[in-house]
Amino acid sequence: MESKKPDLIFLQETHSSKEREAQWKKRMETKFENFWLTVAGKQIKLDYINIILGILDQRSNLLNYFIILGKLYLWNCRKNKQVPLFLPFEDVVKRKYEIEKLIASQSILNLKYFQAK
């Protein structure tokens, strides 16, 4: 379980804040890569281009969706002046997954209903 201690206090204006932010980004990338390995069973290596542009192949839609959720989560943290932690991001992904699963099951039921008519 992840502690509530912030990974980075990036709002401080100190000489080492850029260095701390770089360390924080690396830790978050590693946590995300490990998270993806758990979810998809595939090893990935994220870099700046992948995060900015997404992964440009047909099999990476879910990964790109998670990257977008991560960007939105980071933006919300900055907007609310909160230090981003990975555990709350995982909660966001789990909630989105449950919502998408519910939408998909309703779509399948609706499709079966209309096909039966």
- Whether 11 is covered by a domain: the verdict is no
Q: What is each CA distance from 46 to 6, 32, 54, in whole angstroms?
A: 22, 9, 10
- Whether 112 is covered by a domain: the verdict is yes
Q: Angle between the 17-40 and 86-116 helix axes, to the nearest 10 degrees?
A: 40
pTM of model > 0.85: no
Q: List, for residues 21-30, the tens digit of each pLDDT value.
A: 777 778 888 8
- Whether 29 is covered by a domain: the verdict is yes
3-11 — which CB contacts under 8 Å span 24+ positions? Answer: 4/85, 6/83, 6/85, 7/83, 7/84, 7/85, 7/86, 8/83, 9/83, 10/83, 11/81, 11/83
pLDDT confidence of residue 36: 87
Question: Domain total for the chain?
Answer: 1
- Whether 41 is covered by a domain: the verdict is yes
- Whether 1 is covered by a domain: the verdict is no
pLDDT confidence of residue 9: 43
In sequence order, the 6+-apart residues with CB closer than 8 A to the CB of 13 are none
Residue ranges of the chain with pLDDT lower than 50?
1-2, 4-15
Q: In whole angstroms, what is the distance from residue 53 CA to residue 85 CA?
A: 23
- Whether 12 is covered by a domain: the verdict is no
pLDDT confidence of residue 77: 87
- Whether 5 is covered by a domain: the verdict is no
pLDDT confidence of residue 17: 65
pLDDT confidence of residue 7: 45
Domain limits at 78?
17-116
- Whether 89 is covered by a domain: the verdict is yes
